[in-house]
Amino acid sequence: MKNKGLGFYLRIYGKILAQDLKSKMSYRADFIISTIGMIFTNISGFVSFWILFKNFPSVNGWGYYEMLFLYGFSLISLTPVQCFFDNNWSLRMYVYSGDFIKYCFRPINIFFYYQSEVFDIKGLGQLAFGIGTLCYSWSKIGLAVTPLMILKVIIFVLTASLVMIALQNAASAACFWIQNSFYILDFVFRFKDYARYPITIFSPVFRFIFTFIMPIAFIAYYPSLVILRPDEVPLLSWLSPMFGAFFFFLSYKLWMFGASRYSGTGS
């Protein structure tokens, strides 16, 4: 079979996305209620964050607005997994019912085909909230606004998002081997809440875990240091794009390996 290029997959994705959005908009009340729910979820999370840190001038050397910057950065970097990879939550149901077999006979990449079927438009509300939080904290900190700084934000946000995508891909792929895989996916997903904090506030043991085992420190902390503290950027911050790409590649290979072993029998 002839290899398909990027242009081919972009055209296919555009068509799939259009159909998915049409399907969602046919149930407008559900869409509106879900969107409002997502907005209030983000607002409640922000209020909890504000109550927790507003009364403290700093936390282990991190000021309130720096913490707010990390919060906004994490929301933005988590948006791609919310919007483009939300179908991972349904993978176990397709596998156990046997319906996943339909993805195995199309002449396109199975991972792309499966993930592209769902676009969670509610994630755009999270993106807007994250951008607003980031811009507000940016102005309060007094960071310069230059093309280079904006380019750094774009690059490091996009590569940071690969870490959470990788964690979710790997956790969801567990369903190819483990029947009660939902608990693994839910457990991994809950770790995203720790991504909004600097790892310096944790004990050395958790710093190691959040850097090398459950690498959520690469979702906001390490990449944001390039913007927040350019004079004291550790090597891991500069390497975070490489780590993001590496983790995503490993998760993709694991997901594809599980899919290749799928028998179609269900359970």
Tell me, what's the pLDDT at 176? 92
When pLDDT is averaged across residues 170-193 and rounded to a whole number, the result is: 90
DSSP assigned state of 63: E
How far apart are the C-alpha atoms of 198 and 118, rounded to whole Å? 32
Tell me, what's the pLDDT at 134? 93
Tell me, what's the pLDDT at 1? 45
How far apart are the C-alpha atoms of 77 and 192, rounded to whole Å? 11
Tokens in use for 201? 């506030």
Tell me the pairing of strands 58-59 and 62-63. Answer: antiparallel
Over the chain, what is the mean pLDDT? 87
What is the residue extent of each domain of the chain? 6-260
Residue 67 has pLDDT above 80, yes or no: yes
Residues 161-173 have pLDDT tens digits of: 999 999 999 999 9
When pLDDT is averaged across residues 195-222 and rounded to a whole number, the result is: 91
Tell me, what's the pLDDT at 257? 95
How far apart are the C-alpha atoms of 88 and 107, rounded to whole Å? 21
Tell me, what's the pLDDT at 48? 75
How far apart are the C-alpha atoms of 170 and 189, rounded to whole Å? 11
Residue 267 has pLDDT above 50, yes or no: no
Spatial contact of 157 and 181, defined as CB atoms under 8 Å apart: no
DSSP string of 93-146, one letter each residue: HHHHHTGGGGGGSSSS-HHHHHHHT---TTHHHHHHHHHHHHHHHHHHHT----
pTM, 2 dp: 0.86
Residues paired with residue 62 on neighbouring β-strands, in sequence order: 59
Residue 195 has pLDDT above 50, yes or no: yes
How far apart are the C-alpha atoms of 236 and 241, rounded to whole Å? 9
Cα 81 to chain centroid, rounded: 4
Of how many residues is the chain composed? 267
Spatial contact of 100 and 94, defined as CB atoms under 8 Å apart: yes
Residue whose structure tokens are 């970097």: 77
Query: What share of the chain in percent tops pLDDT 70?
Result: 93
When pLDDT is averaged across residues 143-165 and rounded to a whole number, the result is: 93
* Alpha helices (H) in the chain, listed in sequence order: 6-25, 28-53, 64-84, 91-97, 110-116, 123-141, 147-173, 182-190, 204-208, 221-228, 235-260
